[in-house]
A and B are shown apart, each in its own frame.
Chain A
Amino acid sequence: MYRKIVLMLFVLACAACLYPAAAGQKDIIFATTTSTQDTGLLDELIPVFEKKTGFRVKTIAVGSGQAMAMGERGEADLILAHSPEAEEQFMKRGFGVNRRIVMHNDFVILGPKRDAAKIRGLRSSPAALRKIASSHSLFISRGDNSGTHAKEQKLWKLAGITAEREKWYQQTGQGMGQTLFVANEKLGYTLCDRATYLALKRNIDLTLLVEGDASLMNIYHVIEINPKKFPRVNEAGGRAFADFWVSPETQKMIEEFGIKKYGAILFHPDAVK
């Protein structure tokens, strides 16, 4: 009987090993912002890349902050982030190489239709935040160190307000989609990238209140992880996928992506001018 159990364990161990575990340098670990996944952009682009090159992309959709934290440990091969200041720090500290611009869109401030803080149509986003603060209206923050969260903190700074400890300021610690739903249910204001907003518009009652301010610009870069620092990084794969993002064909697909699905451009390509 013991022999049977040992045999069974052995068979199971073999079965577990049959799962393609270490496919090695065929896999690219791609740490990216949630907006590219939540809008469906990745589902469109990655199969094209995989078919073309034979690499397999393992997408980990997290906030920009967490994506960079993965990069700092060499746990990713390529990151796509939208947190320019943190990215510059990241580059300065030597974790990344070859940072290239991919695309941009902008952030918008969303809020309930009633708009108790009366920010609708304001031209300046810091002014809008000041009004939200002075009227003690609920503001829902990502609170997850993402690019959106970094932008939001910068805007609060521009507005000269420390919101962190206020009762009307709440942090979800979740992705953009989830945070939108929280703001929607609690009738709060929130900062959102336009792509996620357009993609989820049909599911929420929040309306677009403030847009078009230069400080609301949202820029995405790809950064390859420095293979000199982390020998296990898939250098060729990271490079190939980064090249793919900025290639003219991909840039065209990025531009056309939103129109097909949501009737508007979600991401404006920037790599090819």
Chain B
Amino acid sequence: MDLIVDGVIQAFHLLVSGDPEVIQITLLSLKISGAATLISTCIGVLAGTVIALIRFPGRSVIVTLVNTGMGLPPVVVGLFVTILIWRSGPLGSIGLLYTPAGMVIAQTIIAAPIITGITLSAMQHLPGRLRLQILALGATRRQMVWLLMKEARLPLLTGVMAGFGGVISEIGASMMVGGNIKGYTRVLTTATVMETGKGNFAIAIALGVILLILALAVNFILTAIQQRK
């Protein structure tokens, strides 16, 4: 019990005192997961909308794949991305392994299906007649899609939150693709594992608390946008 209290106290101490390493790790986590979420949002919202609105052969297979992808295990993603980008891999010449860019790619692969899946179900749950109504009022197809997206913005933001939550808390892919390199690819989750291994439980708890605060803050902002009247 002392340990937890100690850890929480130390977390606030580290935050308030502005420990440069902790701040750097925190900002890096935000940057990497933020970038991955942004890219995933573009891909996911677009793909989800297309799959929801257009009927094409093989669509049910795609939907099944997207739904499966929502539960993609980060370690598996990490493994495949690592094999693709290591020096002897097919994309080895770009030199992406153990870089933040590599981590963004891996996290995008994790978050994109989540956002696609939630977008897909959100768009499908809009009343079918809404489309006809919008079109009947003389809207172009583009305007129609835009209006539908606006109509579904609440669940779409839920998708973004789920995507961000999935990648900021993810460790398997970050560890494998990033390598937990000090000052370069060390993020909150990988640092927590390492500090636990070093026996620095208080710092590990502190990092955990920061991770929680971060997730809370981001979701607070997104929820505020979502629930805005």
Contact = CB atoms under 8 A, between A and B. Distances in A.
B95 A21 contact: yes
A12 B101 contact: no
Contacts of A168: none
Interface residues of B, number: 35
A16 B39 contact: yes
A232 B87 contact: yes
Contacts of B201: 203
Interface in A202-219: 202-204
Contacts of B101: 16-17, 19, 21
Interface string A172-199: 0011111001000000000000000001
B96 interface: yes
Contact of B198 (A20, A38, A74, A230): A38
B194 A37 contact: yes
Nearest to B194: A37
A16 B145 contact: no
B180 interface: yes
A264 interface: no
Interface string B51-84: 0000000000000000000000000000000000
B199 A73 contact: no
Given A1-B146, A75-B86, A61 B180 contact: yes
A58 B97 CA distance: 11
B125 interface: no
B98 A58 contact: yes
B196 interface: yes
Nearest to B179: A60
A253 interface: no
B119 to A, nearest CB: 13
B35 A12 contact: yes
A19 B184 contact: no
B160 to A, nearest CB: 14
Interface in B12-54: 35, 38-39, 42, 46
Interface stretch (A2-10, A140-148, A156-164, A244-252): A2-10
Contacts of A38: 197-199
Contact of B42 (A12, A19, A73, A177): A12
A73 B99 contact: no
A235 to B, nearest CB: 13
A232 B104 contact: no
Nearest to B39: A12
Contact of B199 (A8, A16, A199): A199
B42 A8 contact: yes
B88 to A, nearest CB: 5
Given A2-B142, A5-B46, A73-B88, A177 B197 contact: yes
Nearest to A21: B101
A21 B87 contact: no
Interface string B158-192: 00000000000000000000011110110000000
Interface in A1-55: 1-2, 5, 8-9, 12, 15-17, 19-24, 27, 29, 34, 37-38, 40, 43, 46
A74 B88 contact: yes
Nearest to A174: B197
A175 B94 contact: no
Contact of B38 (A12, A17, A21, A61): A12
A60 B198 contact: no
Given A74-B87, A200-B198, 15 more contacts: A21-B94, A21-B101, A29-B98, A34-B197, A37-B198, A38-B197, A40-B198, A43-B182, A74-B88, A75-B97, A174-B197, A177-B196, A177-B198, A181-B199, A232-B93
10 contacts: A1-B146, A2-B142, A12-B38, A20-B99, A21-B94, A22-B94, A37-B198, A61-B194, A73-B86, A199-B198
A-B pairs, top 3 by smallest CB distance, nearest first, are: A22-B95, A177-B197, A203-B199
Interface of B: 35, 38-39, 42, 46, 86-88, 92-102, 104, 142, 145-146, 179-182, 184-185, 194, 196-199, 201
